Chain A
């Protein structure tokens, strides 16, 4: 398989602050990575497709100015939740693959906004 890491694994922040989550592919290069959000007892909802060297593609209903994605290298994509509010509290997971269909997921980041 392929290894994807995420940092931090959990974060608690105050309402109005910004939080950055990193997603790294450790043993492969990923031109494309994906960011998902998962609320308790719900499925994974794709937020955006992160493209190395170009702008991210956001799913319908996801605010691109609120969820900033940067994919500056073939092994790192970052998601920044700007001006976080309690309703942004969720489990954020990234995924990547070796130019095949198989997607490998990071361990996730649990965000709690107070």
Chain B
């Protein structure tokens, strides 16, 4: 089955700097890759997603890149703000299956 690896497990950056979180997946059939943000005790919230027919997607300060050949995808957050502090999870699934396999999570801390 699918296996998703996420790095780093913790990341601390200065406010205003950029943060990058990377994930790799094992199943070449996976073609949908969402990123979720989870604050302590809360539900995961979808922040951006990408499908395998696209190499990059951007939404304001957040961007995701996908390299299908290498089977890895990354989350980029620019101009980080204190409210970006949270745990971020990447995930992978096959279109239609809806079943998500999550990475281990990255605890992002933005230092003021």
Q: Is the CB of A43 within 8 A of B104?
A: yes
CB distance from A78 to the nearest CB of B (A): 18
Q: Is the CB of B105 within 8 A of A104?
A: no
How many contacts A-B (CB < 8 Å)? 52
Bound: A110/B95 CA distance, A: 30
Bound: A51/B100 CA distance, A: 15
Q: Is the CB of B43 within 8 A of A101?
A: no
Question: Taking beta carbons and an 8 Å cutoff, which residues of A are in contact with B?
Answer: 1, 32, 34, 42-46, 49, 93, 95, 97, 101-108, 110
11 other contacts beyond A43-B89, A93-B44, with CB at 8 A cut-off? Answer: A34-B99, A43-B103, A44-B100, A46-B101, A49-B99, A101-B93, A103-B34, A104-B46, A105-B36, A107-B43, A108-B41
Q: 6 closest pairs, A vs B, by CB?
A: A105-B43, A101-B32, A43-B102, A44-B102, A107-B43, A43-B105
